[in-house]
Amino acid sequence: MGKTALITGITGQDGAYLAQFLLERGVQVAGLVRRSASSDAALARLDWLGITQDVRLIDGDITDLSSCIRAVEQARPDEIYNLAAQSFVGASFQQPLLTANVTGLGCLNMLEATRIACPLARFYQPTSSEMFGKVQAPRQSESTPFYPRSPYGAAKLYAHWMTVNYRESHGVHASSGILFNHESPLRGIEFVTRKITDAVARIRLGKARHVLLGNLDAARDWGHARDYVQAMWLMLQQHQPADYVIATGRTTTIRQFCDMAFGYVGLDWREHVQVDAALFRPAEVNILLGDAALAKRVLGWSPMASLEQLVTEMVDADLKRHGGTYRNLAPA
Ligand code: NDP
Ligand code: GDP
């Protein structure tokens, strides 16, 4: 009998790539999906990857313990990936209680559902580099102290410690993956990378002239989501559960990202980007730079995609979405 995995957040960026990754390895995939009046739109990422028909969808919401338990009972999974979250830092300042409920307590609901209904299942919880916030070390590893700077970061910190707690108190094979930012053509359009690549495509195709951005000086350690879902899976293949930083070890400012994305289609970003003070955050995470040495040593994980490849893949996908293409004739 092959393995079965349950993914909460299967309709999100990582959920879709993880489902694809597991299906390619012969794993049966079930996904928790919350009710929506626009359920077709909710499946857009699974449709983009052409796998909607290959996964079993189970109705439920991670803020509702009873539906978490029912989903685990129905799927009887060997592996549980709790990817569901209110995942946008910006929105967490406007909706701190909802973020605490979904991103923090939602993790506890899924841990409880696992403990009650399927205690031998292996459990993966994505936590976040946002937990490092006001960074306490130039490169952040598993031993760097946390200092979250947003309701999202604080909610993830709660999820992180509950995951550790269920491992230590209840013997659940639970791992927390401290993932640094990871992007792809399936990234939500509210995140800065996708906002930029979408704007580049529209501007290149003559459908827009400008894009409004906030703090261009912030720097992020950006990887490709496809590489990061492999790291999640590797964590659950280990005999011992543990916590791992997953990052590329390279940090880039928003300004530099603009330069790369606009430059790829032959545009000068300075002519198209306008700074809007309203888009600055009440508290900023200025710079993130991860040290994934432990993941490399224990999991054998390293990122495959470079930032340059990520940027061009995202811009190309957005050009396609907007009905155009662009061939960069400059030498590689
Ligand atoms: P997305 O925002 O793309 O996806 C979030 C998913 O959670 C969606 O499927 C969404 O469903 C679902 N969801 C939200 N609320 C609920 C709820 N109450 N009940 C059930 N499902 C819900 O996030 P990503 O795929 O980018 O990230 C996956 C996980 O990894 C998240 O936990 C995120 O916080 C974390 N993470 C992500 C990083 C990144 O850079 N991408 C970095 C570090 C951590 P719907 O489609 O209905 O909205
Ligand atoms: P985050 O790292 O999870 O908050 O990912 P985001 O992509 O939302 O933001 C990354 C960085 O880009 C943060 O420092 C933001 O302040 C900065 N940024 C600058 N302009 C924008 C913008 O217009 N939208 C978003 N989302 N972020 C922006």
The percentage of residues in the chain with a pLDDT greater than 90, rounded to a whole number, is 94
Q: Are residues 9 and 149 in the same domain?
A: yes
The percentage of residues in the chain with a pLDDT greater than 70, rounded to a whole number, is 98
Q: Is the distance from the beta carbon of residue 90 to the nearest atom of ligand 2 less than 6 Å?
A: yes
Q: What is the mean pLDDT of the chain?
A: 96
Q: Are residues 178 and 166 in the same domain?
A: yes
The answer to pTM > 0.95 is yes
Ligand 2, pocket-test mutation among 149, 178, 192, 310, most atoms within 8 A of CB: 192
Q: Are residues 202 and 304 in the same domain?
A: yes
Q: Are residues 82 and 148 in the same domain?
A: yes
Q: Are residues 212 and 310 in the same domain?
A: yes
In this predicted structure, what is the pLDDT of residue 276? 98
In this predicted structure, what is the pLDDT of residue 288? 98
Nearest CA to ligand 1 atom 41: 182
Ligand 2 atom nearest 214 alpha carbon: 20
DSSP state of 190: T
Q: Are residues 208 and 173 in the same domain?
A: no
Q: Are residues 110 and 213 in the same domain?
A: no
In this predicted structure, what is the pLDDT of residue 209? 97
Give the catalytic positions in this structure: 128, 130, 152
Does the pLDDT of residue 332 top 50, yes or no?
Answer: no
In this predicted structure, what is the pLDDT of residue 291? 98
Buried b (16+ CB within 10 A) or exposed e, 14-30: bbbbbbbbbbeeebbbb
Q: What is the CATH number of the domain that holds 304?
A: 3.90.25.10
Range of the domain at 94: 4-183+224-232+239-246
Q: Are residues 205 and 160 in the same domain?
A: no
- DSSP sequence for 11-59: TSHHHHHHHHHHHHTT-EEEEEE---TTHHHHTHHHHHHT-GGGSEEEE
Q: Are residues 144 and 30 in the same domain?
A: yes
For the segment 1-25, what is each residue's pLDDT rounded down to a tens digit? 799 999 999 999 999 999 999 999 9
CA of 88 from ligand 1 middle (Å) equals 8
For the segment 64-99, what is each residue's pLDDT rounded down to a tens digit? 999 999 999 999 999 999 999 999 999 999 999 999
Domain count along the chain: 2
Structure tokens at 277: 């003070």
Q: Are residues 170 and 201 in the same domain?
A: no
For the segment 277-304, what is each residue's pLDDT rounded down to a tens digit? 999 999 999 999 999 999 999 999 999 9
Q: Are residues 168 and 201 in the same domain?
A: no
Tell me the CB-side half-sphere exposure of residue 124, using CA atoms within 13 A. Answer: 31
For the segment 93-151, what is each residue's pLDDT rounded down to a tens digit? 999 999 999 999 999 999 999 999 999 999 999 999 999 999 999 999 999 999 999 99
Q: Are residues 210 and 299 in the same domain?
A: yes
In this predicted structure, what is the pLDDT of residue 331? 46
Does the pLDDT of residue 233 top 50, yes or no?
Answer: yes
- DSSP sequence for 103-120: IIIHHHHHHHHHHHH-TT
Does the pLDDT of residue 318 top 50, yes or no?
Answer: yes
CA of 207 from ligand 1 middle (Å) equals 30
Q: What is the CATH number of the domain that holds 88?
A: 3.40.50.720
